[in-house]
Structure formats: structure tokens, C-alpha cells
Amino acid sequence: MPAPARLYAKAIQLMPLIAFTNARLLDPASQHDETGTLVAEGGKITAFGAGVAAPEGAQIVDCAGLCLAPGLVDMRVAVGEPGEEQRETILSASRSAAAGGITAFAMLPNTTPVIDGIAGLEFVARRAREAKLVKIFAYGAVTQGAAGRDLAEMGLLAEAGAIGFTDGTNAIGDALTMRRALSYARAFGKVIVQHPEEPSLAAGGQMNEGEISTRLGLSGISRAAEIIMLERDLRLVELTGGRYHAAHLSTAEGVELIRDAKSAGLPVTCDVAPPYFALSEIDIGDYRTFAKLSPPLRTDDDRRALIAGIADGTIDAIASDHAPQDQDAKRVPFAAAAPGVVGLETLLPIALELYHKGAIGLLDLLARMTFAPAKILGLPLGQLKVDAAADLVIFDLDRPWVINADAFRSKSKNSPFDKRPVAGAVVMTVVDGRIVHQS
């Protein structure tokens, strides 16, 4: 059976020998935090630590005290290619990811056509090899056409290298279909990633149901849509023993359900995206379509509960939930606007707000974006250790700057964080020992 690594861009020319000196070495997996040197050769880490010296003949990169950590692993990225290249291509997403310190990402199957067969996986692999930037993995769709009815050929997809199974932005609404998917995925050692939103309760909704939606005259999406779906799915996990991952949690009750499921020993994980812990329904303001998401932004109480879930480990991962939309899809009346925001280049600085505000330690925060998502997806990434891939991000922890969406490498600019002041900037991104981005 081919390894999942089949689906990422392999380097054609690797840096033969490079030493990153005077770096604050941060490894969330081992809780390692010290100033020293990291040496990479042939795309692998060969040594790192306080007592390591740069080898003779090595290319020297003086980090001048900046943070050096494993490259970020983003487990939820939508790309328009194939089918909607005006929104995003694999090349533009790769450039955007590299600029954001992301060295590997998992691509959702919601393309045109949907990635529900081997041809789709092979297309992604070919485009990733051509881009020669970051590592790209692809999910296979759970159902044919991601339509929620007939199961896709999950066994063939797993054999071809699918990193997991999801219908991406579509919820798997039918209980029997989800039960079968969990059972089959378990046989192949793969995870099912669910968009936890009961479709009939969310249909036609534009934002969180409540006082603000009433005031704005917009149809609401009840928080029960997330809660009911999670409660059903967790019962099915208990029934089948299949691995289950809840994407982009948005409610306090959702966090509590996952916490209880973990306490009961169920094989359950979850993630959240930065908008859900950095914004709330209030940020929709006067019909800001760039703040329209699926699931929608919730209340400030939900936002605080999500932060608490990140801090205590209930929430395993922070994913960008990158969903590019072109201007024609966003610069329209709120009810007609497509949901989703771009997030590859703002993942790290928005997440670092949690550290700067004292909500979580730096290593624990980085773990949510490196080692933890890699572990969920079964990837040998997200760690600083000898013989591991030299996938690295070097960043200035305290550098102040203002987000400018117009400068994004992404083809789409639909960011709710445009003009937001932040602290923490990516300086360099390294993949397999190659410098793929430098600010």
C-alpha cells in the first residue's frame, strides 16, 4: 500500500547542508525550548540543541534569537482547483501556505469534480509536485460527489494515499451512511472528519440565531444544529469504534460534548479555526460578508469556551479552515454571499494572540498547529528530532504588524482580519531543507 506521502511535493533540489544558528528551538512534542543550532542535510534534521556547532561548509542562517519550530501542519484547507481556479489554485495555495509558515496541509475534497476517486488524488499529487513548495495531502470524499448518500470507494482511496475521509464543507446528514463510513474507515485505519451541522436545521440560515440575527433581519442557524449532530455522531462512534474528528467547533456545548466523549475513552478529536476564538457574531457588524462562515460565528461566551477548550487540550488542533472566495461571491448582499474566509497567512499571528494574552503557553499552542494535527492524520511531521524532515518555520514572536489582505499570496482576499494589528510574524519557511519563503 503506498504511503500517504505519495501526495506531497517532493523536492527536486535539496539543500545539501544548512545550519540555523542562534535560534530559540521550540519542539512542542518534546516540550523542548532552548537556544541553539539546528543542522539539516539532505532534507532531514541531523542535529539540534544548545551544544550543536555548525558543520564546516554548511550554509549558515543566523536566526538572531528568533523562534524556530516545526512547520505548521494545517488539516483543513479548501482549494478551488480543479474547477474553480479563480478562487484558488494549488500553486497559489502553496505560496500562501509557505508565507504563513505552513509546511504541510490537508486539502478538502470539495472540488469540481469532487475527489471521490483515484484520479482526483493523482491530480493533486501531480500539481503538488509541479508547485514544489509545501507538502500537500488530500482527503477522499466519504460519499460519491460529497452528496451524503452513496459511499465512495473508500478502500481504493485509502490505498491510493487519501489522508482521511470527509465530505468537507458538507455534513454527512444520514445516520446510516455515517455509521457505515465509520466502520469502513476503521478497517483502513483512517479518520472520518465531519462538518458537525445538522443540515435541515442549518438550511437557509445566514448567521447565529439570536438577538443580533433578529435585529439584522437575517435568518438564524441554531446552535442546536451543531449540538444535535455531535450527539448523534458520538453515539455512532460508541457503536462502531471508528475514529471521528469534529471540524471547526463553534459552540460551548460542542466543546463540552467532546470533553465528555474523551473522558469516556471514545476515539474522538476536534479542531477549531481562528475566527471562532478571535471573533464573535458581533463582528458581523453592518452585514460584513467577510465575517460570514459555516458554521457561523457564535456568541462571546462561545468564543471564551473555545479558548478554554484549546487551553485544556479538549480541542486538539487549530486549523486555518481556509475557504477562498472571489469578490463576486462576497461583495453581494449578506444573504447571497458565500460563507468562508481565507486563513493560511493569518493562522499563526491570530493563534499567537492566545499566547500574548496569557491564555496558553507557547509550546502548547504550537502543539495544536504542528504535532497534534500530524498525529491525527497519521503523518510523521510536526516535530524537531533527528532524522525527521527539515520542515521548519522561523518567526519573530513579538514583531508588531498590521494584516493587509491585499498583500496575501492567496488569489482570494476574503479575510475578516484585514487591518487587524497583530504580534508575531513568519520570517522564513523551510520544507525538506529548502527555503521556500523568506520575508
- In the chain, the domains with their CATH numbers are 4-68+389-438 (2.30.40.10), 72-377 (3.20.20.140)
Catalytic residue among 233, 321, 364, 432: 321
Q: Give CA–CA dist 377/215, Å, rounded.
A: 42
Q: Is 321 a catalytic residue?
A: yes
- Give, for 97, the enclosing helix (H) or strand (E): helix 90-99
Distance from the Cα of residue 376 to its chain's centroid: 12
- The closest of 415, 312, 429 to 73, measured between CA atoms, is 429
Distance from the Cα of residue 68 to its chain's centroid: 20
Q: Give CA–CA dist 403/205, Å, rounded.
A: 30
Angle at 274 (CA atoms; ends 273, 279), nearest 5 degrees: 120
Q: What pLDDT is stored for residue 15 in this prediction?
A: 60
Q: Give CA–CA dist 396/184, Å, rounded.
A: 44
Query: Going residue by residue through the chain (439 aa), what tens digit of pLDDT does each one get?
Result: 334 433 444 433 456 799 999 999 999 999 999 999 999 999 999 999 999 999 999 999 999 999 999 999 999 999 999 999 999 999 999 999 999 999 999 999 999 999 999 999 999 999 999 999 999 999 999 999 999 999 999 999 999 999 999 999 999 999 999 999 999 999 999 999 999 999 999 999 999 999 999 999 999 999 999 999 999 999 999 999 999 999 999 999 999 999 999 999 999 999 999 999 999 999 999 999 999 999 999 999 999 999 999 999 999 999 999 999 999 999 999 999 999 999 999 999 999 999 999 999 999 999 999 999 999 999 999 999 999 999 999 999 999 999 999 999 999 999 999 999 999 999 999 999 999 999 8
Q: What pLDDT is stored for residue 162 in this prediction?
A: 97
Q: What pLDDT is stored for residue 228 in this prediction?
A: 98
**Edge-first strand listing for the sheet containing 268-272:** 165-166, 192-194, 244-246, 268-272, 317-318
Q: Give CA–CA dist 229/296, Å, rounded.
A: 15
Neighbours of 398 (CB within 10 A): 11
Residues 6+ apart with CB under 8 A from 114: 120, 141, 144, 145, 146
Write out the DSSP string of 65-85.
T-EEEEPEEEEEE---TTT-T
Q: What pLDDT is stored for residue 16 in this prediction?
A: 77
Q: What pLDDT is stored for residue 3 in this prediction?
A: 42
Map residue 23 onto helix, strand or coil.
strand
Torsion of CA 290, 295, 299, 300, to 10 degrees: -70
Q: Give CA–CA dist 372/193, Å, rounded.
A: 15
Q: What pLDDT is stored for residue 65 in this prediction?
A: 97
C-alpha cell of residue 103: 509546511
Strands 220-221 and 207-208 come out as parallel
Map residue 197 onto helix, strand or coil.
coil
Strands (DSSP E) contained in 59-131 are: 59-62, 67-70, 72-77, 102-107
Q: Residues in the chain, how many?
A: 439
Neighbours of 401 (CB within 10 A): 13
Neighbours of 274 (CB within 10 A): 23
Residues 6+ apart with CB under 8 A from 369: 72, 73, 74, 317, 318, 347, 348, 351
Burial 142-178 (b: 16+ CB within 10 A, else e): bbeebebeebbebeebbebbbbbbbbbbbbbbeeebb
Write out the DSSP string of 158-189.
HHHT---EE-TTS----HHHHHHHHHHHHHTT
